[in-house]
């Protein structure tokens, strides 16, 4: 019985968070990229004394739009609440017709990012990106692509590749999996022609020689990665799956400046850099007006490509 009481205390502690300097909403289930980003922020901010106590709360669902909607309505003018989000959210807001968008919160900074990798199984006849594009041009339906959820970064990447190659994006045969991991199994099992996901998901397999890396979606070649960029392969694509942090709507300039300063201290800390290195995340920190401009540009480009794939009417 004693442990039941203890268990009850645990539940009430989770249901009613105690006083915290910052509460970070991870709009996804535990374990995913956003959850890990939020929990890493929690660790660094607490250990480096940026914030005395940080709570992480998971509000999963619908590409982060449920968490975003809840966050925007509950935290007007609240400078203590943060939400983690990312590029996938931009697409999800569009495909789900979400009533709340990133314009309804205060974007603070882009934190990390990962580039997309295009791979084929080691046993595949396709040797390079040109070969894959040729197969795609010959018969778009015969090239099956495995990647993450529909309308996510991986799907958008395939749409962009088709468009850049002059193939109608609505004809692509994209097989959506619930995540990079499940897609990876399909690629390794030779179930599909090619795979698209963030480079980190494929890296161990590429090193072990079970997958062949055809191209990466970065603007320039990546250090230590033996593959051309999509641009080199003649496809004008620069795509990054980034993660960001935002604060509540209607903040005063002082409030916003304080959060920006806290986040900057965190990003510049040795602890944060070490965590990024451990997790294989790239530091793509961008804040202020530059980030706002980048966000607007990404949103417009995403909307255009989702319309062309036919996911957004």
Where along the sequence are the contacts to another protein (CB under 8 A)?
Answer: 1, 3-4, 6-8, 10-12, 14-15, 29-32, 35-36, 39, 42-43, 57-62, 65-66, 69-70, 95-96, 98, 141-142, 144, 149-151, 155, 173, 175-176, 178-179, 181-182, 184-186, 188-189, 191-192, 203-205, 207-208, 210, 278-280, 311
Determine the 3-state secondary structure of 10 from DSSP. helix
Q: Where are the alpha helices (DSSP H) in 189-269?
A: 199-208, 253-268
How many Å apart are CA 10 and CA 29, to the nearest integer?
19
Pick between residue 182 and residue 232 the one whose CB is nearest to another protein. Answer: 182
How many Å apart are CA 206 and CA 218, to the nearest integer?
17
CB of 70 to another protein, least distance (A): 7
Torsion-angle region of 277 (φ positive above 0: left; ψ -120 to 50: alpha; else: beta): alpha
Structure tokens at 88: 């996938």
CB of 33 to another protein, least distance (A): 10
CB of 128 to another protein, least distance (A): 23
CB of 256 to another protein, least distance (A): 26
DSSP code at position 136: H
Pick between residue 2 and residue 254 the one whose CB is nearest to another protein. Answer: 2
How many Å apart are CA 298 and CA 39, to the nearest integer?
26
Structure tokens at 223: 């250090």
Pick between residue 51 and residue 205 the one whose CB is nearest to another protein. Answer: 205
Report whether 175 contacts 192 (CB < 8 A): yes
Pick between residue 148 and residue 291 the one whose CB is nearest to another protein. Answer: 148
CB of 243 to another protein, least distance (A): 14
Pick between residue 93 and residue 109 the one whose CB is nearest to another protein. Answer: 93
């Amino acid at each position: 019985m004693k442990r039941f009481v203890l268990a009850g205390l645990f539940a009430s502690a989770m249901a009613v968070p105690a006083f915290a300097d910052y509460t970070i909403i991870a709009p996804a289930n535990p374990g995913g990229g956003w959850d890990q980003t939020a929990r890493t922020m929690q660790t660094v901010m607490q250990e480096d004394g940026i914030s005395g106590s940080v709570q992480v709360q998971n509000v999963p669902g619908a590409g982060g739009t449920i968490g975003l909607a809840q966050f925007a309505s509950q935290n007007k003018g609240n400078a203590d609440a943060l939400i983690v989000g990312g590029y996938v959210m931009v697409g999800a807001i569009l495909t789900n017709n979400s009533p709340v968008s990133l314009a309804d919160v205060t974007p603070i900074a882009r934190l990390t990012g990962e580039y997309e990798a295009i791979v084929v199984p080691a046993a595949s006849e396709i040797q390079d990106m040109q070969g894959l594009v040729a197969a795609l041009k010959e018969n778009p339906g015969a090239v099956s692509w495995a990647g993450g959820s529909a309308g996510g970064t991986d799907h958008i990447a395939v749409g962009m590749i088709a468009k850049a190659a002059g193939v109608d994006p609505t004809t692509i045969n994209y097989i959506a999996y619930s995540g990079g991991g499940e897609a990876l199994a399909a690629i390794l099992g030779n179930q599909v022609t090619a795979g698209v996901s963030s480079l980190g998901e494929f890296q161990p397999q590429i090193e072990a020689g079970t997958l062949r890396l055809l191209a990466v979606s970065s603007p320039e070649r990546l250090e230590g990665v033996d593959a051309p960029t999509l641009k080199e392969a003649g496809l004008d694509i620069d795509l990054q799956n980034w993660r960001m942090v935002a604060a509540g709507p209607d903040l005063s300039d002082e409030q916003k400046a304080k959060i920006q300063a806290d986040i900057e201290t965190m990003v510049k800390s040795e602890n944060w850099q070490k965590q990024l290195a451990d997790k294989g995340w790239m530091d793509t920190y961008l804040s202020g007006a530059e980030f706002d401009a980048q966000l607007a540009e990404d949103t417009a480009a995403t909307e255009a490509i989702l319309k062309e794939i036919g996911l957004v009417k």
